[in-house]
Amino acid sequence: MALQLCGSIGANTGGIKCAASPGKINSIAIWGGKLTVAEQLTLATRKTSLVADSKLSKLLSDKLFLLPLFLGKESKKESNQEQTLSNGLKFVTREGLPGWRFSFKTSMGQMKNLRKFNNTILNVIMQDDQKRVWGSKDSNDALIGRQAQLFFEGLDHIGDDGVEGLGFVNVAFIDAIENYDDAAFVEVDFNFQTTLAALLDVQLFEKAVAVANVLHPSGKVDVANLPVPMDIYEEYKTTLFSTAALWKATNLQTGAAITVTGIAPGAGGVAYADLTLNAAAITALNTGDKVLVETVLPTALDAAGVVGIETVGFIYTKP
Amino acid sequence: MGWLKINGTDFNLEVGTYSLEEFKKEFKHSFCLGKTDSEIEKVYAQLRAVAVPAPLKNISNELHTGNKEKAVTVKGKGDSTGKGSFIGKLGGSS
């Protein structure tokens, strides 16, 4: 019997039949949040937490950004670093880091937004083809994302053998411990792509010149078609553009709120709303004074039936 | 303060506390466009009814309950539909 202290550094090595191993990655989400032990308890609590984070404003740390469904998956795992002895024997001296190149269907407008994440270190979680959600774990056994650097390749014109709208993203993980030693997963009963929200950025704008204290807002989404952005007015006419509680106005000179006194779809079939701000407050402004007009954050929009968007406000300037 | 949607326009109930003239001035370029005075006054009355509830003493008088000689404590809470909930008890020496 050889003397050993292996138990002090290792663990028992028994295997368990049918225990999970990582499957093929279908989806990735950028996520700064965590799934605490309490939130992991049931399928329902996991779903609720992840869905809620996907509906947060992009300005919040816990926001979950869902990336498009991956079609092709190519491993770009880094080779292990090895030391070769004089007799040819090789030892692994540093483990290669995992990496991937995924393909997905996209558009120019979406790719422009995705590329804004390029070259920064982000936390990501993955859903595999068994609906398991893979990440890492923190010291409190919460599920967290793994650190990775993403690079979305620019969407280009295609050759005769090309597929239109096929985008690629390179994902390079930077920590072997997160990926191998602290790897963890939770099972969920939903598909990321059909259940989590991937919001659209909507730029609010004045579609027609304001009359006195009545502004005429609509909203548009950049689809890379310069003269024809996607106007969302008709889609949200009876929700966002009919609910005054979803709107806010702020006097940028003083920081004071200006009361929104009413909103309604514009009369006569026009494609903008009539947003009425407090007349006295608007009258009191000097020429050139600015008012920020915006909506509430996407979680509140979603609760009011305005789903799938986050808005960027516009500035009204007193003529 | 709350909101009330009437005929497609979502009003801030605060405007129900305005005078009729102030209300007309506020919505001169939106809701009031193309509407007659009677149409405007009808909507204004609806907003005012929700925004400015009837005096509390009337509640006690109408119900014929409680001791009218004592103060009545009432807690009210409105909602965006214009309906109010009533919490509390009306005076009385019982």
The pLDDT tens digits of the residues spanning A195-213 come to: 999 999 999 999 999 999 9
* Residue-level pLDDT at B94: 38
CB distance B26–A276 less than 8 Å?
yes
Alpha helices for A7-104 (secondary structure H):
43-54
- Per-residue pLDDT for B75 more than 70? no
- Per-residue pLDDT for B91 more than 90? no
Question: If pLDDT is split at 50, 70 and 90, which confidence band does B1 have?
Answer: confident
Average pLDDT over residues A90-118: 97
DSSP secondary structure letters along B5-54: EETTEEEEGGGGGS-HHHHHHHTTTTTTTT--HHHHHHHHHHHHHHHSPP
- Per-residue pLDDT for B88 more than 80? no
Torsional sign, CA A279, A281, A282, A284: positive
Report percent pLDDT > 70 for chain B: 56
The complex's ipTM works out to 0.81
* Residue-level pLDDT at B92: 45
Question: How distant, in Å, are the alpha carbons of A108, A109, A176, B4 from that of A224?
Answer: 6, 5, 39, 39
CB distance B29–A211 less than 8 Å?
yes
Q: How close is the nearest chain A Cα to the Cα of B13, in Å?
A: 8
Comparison of pLDDT for A268 and A139, the residue scoring more: A139
Residue B4 CB contacts under 8 Å (≥ 6 apart), including other chains: B10, B11, B13, B16, B46, B47, B50, B80, B81, B82
* Residue-level pLDDT at B93: 44
For the entire predicted model, the pTM comes to 0.85
* Residue-level pLDDT at B69: 52
Query: Contact A166/A176 with Cβ under 8 angstroms?
Result: no
Q: Which amino acid is at A310?
A: E
Query: pLDDT tens-digit profile of A148-206?
Result: 999 999 999 999 999 999 999 999 999 999 999 999 999 999 999 999 999 999 999 99
CA angle (A155 as vertex; A154, A161 as ends), nearest 5 = 125
* Residue-level pLDDT at A270: 95
Question: If pLDDT is split at 50, 70 and 90, which confidence band does A268 have?
Answer: confident
Quote the CA–CA distance of B72 and A31 in Å, as a whole number.
55
Interface of B with A in 58-77 (CB under 8 A): none
Average pLDDT over residues A48-54: 98
Query: Contact A272/A216 with Cβ under 8 angstroms?
Result: yes
Task: Tell me which chain B residues have a C-beta less than 8 angstroms from the C-beta of A276.
Answer: 26-27, 29-31
Tell me the sheet residues that pair with A81: A94
Using a CB–CB cut-off of 8 Å, the residues of A that contact B are 211-214, 242-245, 259-265, 267, 274, 276, 278-279
* Residue-level pLDDT at B83: 53
Compare all CA atoms of chain A with the CA of B27 and give the residue at the minimum distance. A276
Quote the CA–CA distance of A230 and A23 in Å, as a whole number.
38
- Per-residue pLDDT for B89 more than 90? no
Quote the CA–CA distance of B47 and B56 in Å, as a whole number.
19
Coil vs helix vs strand at A6? helix
Nearest neighbour of B15 by CB, restricted to A245, A261, A264: A261
* Mean per-residue pLDDT over chain B, rounded: 76
* Residue-level pLDDT at B15: 96
* Residue-level pLDDT at B79: 53
